[in-house]
Chain A
Amino acid sequence: MVATQETIDKVKEVSSTYKYGFVTDLEAEKAPLGLSEDIVKFISHKKKEPKWLLEWRLKAYKKWLTMKEPNWAMVDFPKINFQDIYYYSAPKTKPKLNSLDEVDPELLKTYEKLGIPIKEQEVLAGVAVDYVFDSVSVATTFREKLAKEGIIFCPISEAVHTHPSLVKKYIGTVIPISDNYYAALNSAVFTDGSFVFIPKGVKCPMELSTYFRINEQNSGQFERTLIIAEDNTYVSYLEGCTAPQRDENQLHAAVVELVAMNNAEIKYSTVQNWYPGDKDGKGGIYNFVTKRGNCLGKKSKISWTQVETGSAITWKYPSCVLKGDDSVGEFYSVAVANNAQQADTGTKMIHIGKNTKSTIISKGISAGKAQNTYRGQVQIQKNAKGSRNFTQCDSLLIGDKCGAHTVPYINQFTPNARIEHEATTSKISEDQLFYCLQRGLDTEQATSLIVNGFCKEVMKELPMEFAVEAQKLIGISLEGSVG
């Protein structure tokens, strides 16, 4: 798809300071502060959930109580008080809308400030957008068109009512409630997220997209996304995020589960641009996300592409479990950390089926005082004969106060397979910089250009609209880091 003028203008608007730092004044209906069994029941009750889901949440809550926060990541932040967070908040006037005109005008204004006029996006980008505003999906567009194909694309809270058997069958199968501390927390208190189901033989005609937005002060967002692609299907899903500027740290512990059956392909792209905190590291989002895809079927494929520029702390490892024979897992990542940001991100590729293949391309950029860590695991299990992995993780350092770290784990349990891993760390070369400056670019433009070149392998995996935005974002994220 070609980037239209609007898209380009929109991206240009994004200026040096964090543009998305404003608060929409919508009275939210909050759950009381803190977390207890009652809060879990409150959330479940608010969403009129069936009994099985409440029980599932309570089981997760009890598990969570017994777990400890992981401390192995190379990130350093003050301890989170989980009792000082609101676990549920929703816009008070809950809209059930047929068209966008019915949406609260204040909400629409917020989106305009964000630079994503819904209507124009609808027309121009051909994207169905499922806006998540403060944990509750407000409006879903293009649903009818998708419905014709038999595709289900709706908030997961709605899917619980409309397609309970599907949700019940798959939720928690990829990431069990006991998987890790934050996944257990999410399972107990998740408020909303997207649900996608692609029936057999359907290629999704458009890119599905959700814009997440954290709004209400102190409301941790606990998204839960579930995507199921049945035999012979294709779906591309886009996730993008912006959040208002805040002084208090906000916690985001999302869970994303993907299931790919025989010959199905899921492409999951993320541009993450949450508030990273100010220059001294004050404020900013804590982004603790568990993302995993199960390649259950033969010749299935799951591809993760991410551009991470925001958040104060990132703890995120989108992974693939390659169970089906001949299945493919891919991970393309650009992680930019500037100022006081800390990112510990990477992937896991677990090869179980025969002839499974995985590719990991990770580009980490550190500037300012930031710490950027790639942490990844490639495991080829005993029966995964003929499997292959290729990993490349490159780090770029800008400035002498930042850090770039690489922590790969390689485990191979069969001789008939091959793992290749490469990593390099360097700084922007003087020659490249000199060349650009000589041609009239200033240092910042030159840096942005070189960095984008460094990330090209990943950027080309992004859908067009995202690619434009992402390139600009990287430039913005690195502003003030050179010269």
Chain B
Amino acid sequence: MLHDVKDNYINSVKNHVSQFEENSFRKLASNDFKSWPSPREETWRLSRLGVLSRKEITPIIPDFKKTFSSKSQFNGSTIIRFVDGAFRKDLSSKLPSGSFLNILGEEESLKCFHKFKDSNLKDHPSTNVSFSCTPSIVKLTVEKDVNIRNFFEIIYEGGEDNLSVHPALYIELKDNSSITIIERFNHLSSLIMPLQLIELKKSASMDSLKIFSDNQKSYNLSANCTFLSDKSNYNSFSLIKGGIFTRSETHAYLKGENCNLNLNGVYLSSKNQHHDLTTAIYHDVPNCTSKQIVRGVLGGKSTGVFQGKVRVAPDAQKTDGQQMSRAILLSENAIANAKPELEIYADDVVCAHGATVGEIDDEQLFYLKSRGFSETKAKQILITAFLKDIINVSVEESAQNFVFKEAELGLSEIISEEI
């Protein structure tokens, strides 16, 4: 039982917030962190965190002297840098007009906290711990009618062994605005708990690209809560390849009619990695569409998890919800788990999900071999195609090459072991 283990981390979180007032958001959040989720909890059954309670981890105190200079990958992009979980204005670019960044005060942070607490992420460990320990909640606002063409690159760096980092980002897109954000997680910490709140106002449109490539010993528990208003668009693609344990959990609330959501993702797992893509899509109003495509390639002794839930509320008629997950196992010792879930309370809807798990298709392999490719080469071609396929439909054209290169790096880890 988890509760019997003396959990130092809980105490260190409590210590971390001891100087704050009882009704501050940090104190409130820390009071709700009582233990790591138990494997009996349905949403954590396939991704267990018990090992964390046996580690000696403490929340980081950011070092504002650290410098990083990893380069921008795109021309003209705006860089926003978080080091040790704290926003570093000195290492970030100037923001384009119509957008601004500010650090939230107590009152606004509390509002932000309550938004998470009203969602189904309320018991997520990151919600409770990161609100307690984040250096500050940073808000990125894009003004009404502002369309920013150039990418925003948000780079998360820093962290150290046995320390946990807690970046918290709140993005608000006002009416008719649009933006593309590329986030890269490159931490060295043992535990990373990024928080993200996204609010898309009327007809706002956001493309989001997340690349999880943290240190090989890291645990990354990312929690994202997104609210969509009328006619808004949210296109998200996550590539998970780093860490020993990475779970990207996204909850999207479709609150306005005619909005459109794509939550796609790829996990590439090798060695002892555990990768988990968990999503929950809440159709609360009529006439919205959501689509999800998830693919995974597993080698070594890795484990892949996809848990996707689509909930359609009683009034959300004319909902179109689609979900498709595929996993390819390349190793005898890899494990693939999927739990695509539909919870539907409205009748005039079209909802479907499909899930397959298997090895590389024999016929396709035979086809390539009969044309002179070696087995290894043929497998490589097929897996590459398997990924290219989804990257092409999920990622904006100018970023496709970059994403594909990142994916190939992950893939080469797997392939060098297996094929």
Nearest-CB residue, chain B, relative to A397 = B347
Q: Does B334 contact A (CB under 8 A)?
A: yes
Q: Check B355–A72 contact: CB distance below 8 A.
A: no
Say whether B340 contacts A425, CB under 8 Å.
no
Given A397-B344, A405-B342, the answer on whether A415 and B329 have CB atoms closer than 8 Å is yes
Question: How distant is the Cα of A404 from the Cα of B347 in the complex, in angstroms?
Answer: 9
One of A402, A416, A419 near B356 (C-beta < 8 A)? A419
Query: Measured between alpha carbons, how far is A422 from B353 in the docked complex, in Å?
Result: 6
Asked if A406 contacts B353 (CB within 8 A), the reply is yes
Q: Are B356 and A406 in contact (CB under 8 A)?
A: no
Task: List residues of B (327-345) whose CB comes within 8 Å of A's CBs.
Answer: 327, 329-332, 334-345
Q: Please report the C-alpha to C-alpha distance between residue A398 and residue B347 in the assembled complex, in whole angstroms.
A: 6
- With A418-B356, A420-B356, A426-B350 as contacts: A412 and B344 at CB distance below 8 Å: no
Do A409 and B357 contact each other (CB < 8 Å), given the known contacts A397-B344, A415-B334, A425-B352?
Answer: no
Q: Which of A403-454 contact B (CB under 8 A)?
A: 403-427
In the complex, what's the smallest C-beta–C-beta distance from A234 to chain B, in angstroms?
A: 32
Complex-state Cα separation, A418 to B357, whole angstroms: 6
Q: Are A417 and B344 in contact (CB under 8 A)?
A: no
- Could you tell me if B336 and A426 are in contact, using CB atoms closer than 8 angstroms? no
In the complex, the answer to whether A427 meets B353 with C-beta atoms within 8 Å is no
Q: Does B264 contact A (CB under 8 A)?
A: no
CA distance A408 to B308 in the complex (A): 11
Of the candidates B339, B346, B351, which one forms a contact with A400 in the assembled complex, judged by CB atoms under 8 Å apart? Answer: B346
Given the complex of chains A and B, what is the CA–CA distance between A400 and B346 in angstroms? 5
A425/B342 in contact, CB under 8 A:
yes
Q: Which residues of B contact A411 (CB under 8 A)?
A: 335-337
On chain B, the residues within 8 Å of A72 by CB distance are: 42
Interchain CA distance A35-B17 in the complex, whole Å: 52
Q: Mark A39-71, 1 if CB is under 8 A from B, else 0.
A: 000000000000000000000000000000000
Report whether B340 and A421 are in contact in the complex, using a CB–CB cutoff of 8 Å.
yes
Q: Are A407 and B341 in contact (CB under 8 A)?
A: yes
Asked if residues A421 and B339 are in contact (CB atoms below 8 Å), the reply is no
Question: Cβ of B344 and Cβ of A404 under 8 Å apart?
Answer: yes
Are the CB atoms of A412 and B351 closer together than 8 Å?
no
Q: Say yes or no: A424-B352 contact (C-beta < 8 A), given A400-B347, A401-B314.
A: yes
Q: Tell whether B105 is near chain A: CB-to-CB under 8 Å.
A: no
Encode B44-64 as 1/0 by CB contact (under 8 A) with A.
Answer: 000000000000000000000
Decide if B339 touches A408 in the complex (CB within 8 Å): yes
Residues of B within 8 A of A399 (CB): 347
Q: Considering only CB atoms, which chain B residue lies closest to A396 in the complex?
A: B347
A294 interfacial contact with B, CB 8 Å: no
Q: Which chain B residues border A403 with CB–CB below 8 Å?
A: 343-345
B349 adjacent to A425 (CB under 8 Å)? yes
Cross-chain contact A418 with B359 (CB below 8 angstroms): yes
A249 within 8 A of B: no
Nearest chain A CB to B328 CB, angstrom units: 8
Asked whether B372 is an interface residue with its Cβ less than 8 Å from the other chain, the reply is no
In the complex, chain B residues whose CB is within 8 Å of the CB of A407: 339, 341
A395 close to B (CB within 8 Å): yes
Bound-state CA distance A410–B305 (Å) is 10
Interface majority SS on B: helix, strand, loop or mixed? Answer: strand
Question: Would you give the shortest CB distance from B368 to chain A, in whole angstroms?
Answer: 18
**Complex formed: what's the CA distance from A405 to B339 in Å?**
13
The smallest beta-carbon distance between B135 and chain A, in angstroms, is 39
B406 lies within 8 A of chain A by Cβ: no
Given A400-B346, A405-B343, also A413-B335 (CB < 8 A):
yes
| Interface class of chain A by DSSP | strand
B390 to chain A, nearest CB (A): 18
Q: Is the CB of B348 within 8 A of A427?
A: yes
Whether B339 lies near A423 (C-beta < 8 A) is: no
Name which residue of chain B comes closest to A413, CB basis: B335
Q: Does B213 contact A (CB under 8 A)?
A: no
Q: How far is the CA of A418 from the CA of B361 in the complex (A)?
A: 10
- Is the CB of B354 closer than 8 A to any CB of chain A? yes
**In the complex, which residues of chain A have a beta carbon less than 8 angstroms from the beta carbon of B342?**
395, 404-406, 423, 425
Q: Are A410 and B337 in contact, with the CB atoms below 8 A?
A: yes
* Residue B258 CB within 8 A of the other chain: no
The answer to whether B340 touches A408 (Cβ under 8 A) is yes
For A382, the chain B residues whose CB sits under 8 A away are 332
Q: CA separation between A421 and B338, bound complex, in Å?
A: 10
What is the CA–CA distance of A40 and B334 in the complex, to the nearest angstrom? 47
Q: A412-B335, A416-B359, A418-B357 are in contact. Are A406 and B341 (CB under 8 A)?
A: yes
Contact B332 A421 (CB under 8 A): no
Residue in B334, B348, B350, B354 whose CB lies within 8 Å of A422: B354
Q: How far, in Å, is A341 (CB) from chain B's closest CB?
A: 15
Chain A residues whose C-beta falls within 8 Å of the C-beta of B330 in the assembled complex: 415
A286-311 CB contact bits vs B (8 Å, 1 = yes)?
00000000000000000000000000
Least Cβ–Cβ distance between A200 and chain B, in angstroms:
37
B233 proximity list for chain A (CB < 8 A): none
Instruction: List A contacts of B76 (CB < 8 A).
Output: none
Given A415-B329, A419-B355, A421-B356, A405:B344 Cβ within 8 A: yes
Complex: A382 Cα to B336 Cα, angstroms: 12
Partner of B358, one of A408, A413, A419: A419
Asked if A395 and B355 sit within 8 Å, CB to CB, the answer is no
Say whether A427 contacts B347, CB under 8 Å: yes
B317 at the interface (CB under 8 A from A): yes
Task: State how many angstroms separate the Cβ of A367 from the closest Cβ of chain B.
Answer: 9
Report if A412-B329 is in contact (Cβ < 8 Å); known contacts: A397-B344, A423-B354, A425-B342.
yes
Q: Which residues of A contact B359 (CB under 8 A)?
A: 415-418
| Set of chain A residues within 8 Å of B347, measured between Cβ atoms | 397-400, 402, 427
The one of B314, B332, B351, B358 in contact with A424, judged by C-beta atoms closer than 8 angstroms, is: B351
Contact B341 A414, beta carbon cutoff 8 Å: no
A423 and B352 form a contact (CB under 8 A): yes
On chain B, the residues within 8 Å of A423 by CB distance are 340, 342, 352-354
How far apart sit A404 and B346, CA to CA, in the bound complex (Å)?
A: 9
CA distance A382 to B331 in the complex (A): 11
Please name the 5 residue pairs, one residue from A and one from B, whose CB atoms are nearest each other, closest first: A418-B358, A415-B329, A397-B347, A410-B338, A406-B342
- Given A382-B332, A414-B332, 12 more contacts at CB 8 Å? A380-B357, A397-B347, A400-B347, A402-B345, A405-B341, A405-B344, A412-B357, A415-B359, A417-B358, A418-B356, A421-B353, A426-B351
- Interface positions of B (Cβ within 8 A of A): 42, 314, 317, 327, 329-332, 334-359
Subset of 27 A-B contacts with CB under 8 Å: A380-B357, A395-B344, A397-B344, A400-B347, A402-B347, A403-B344, A404-B344, A405-B344, A406-B341, A408-B340, A408-B355, A410-B338, A410-B355, A411-B336, A412-B327, A412-B336, A412-B358, A413-B335, A420-B355, A420-B356, A421-B354, A423-B340, A424-B351, A425-B344, A425-B349, A427-B347, A427-B348
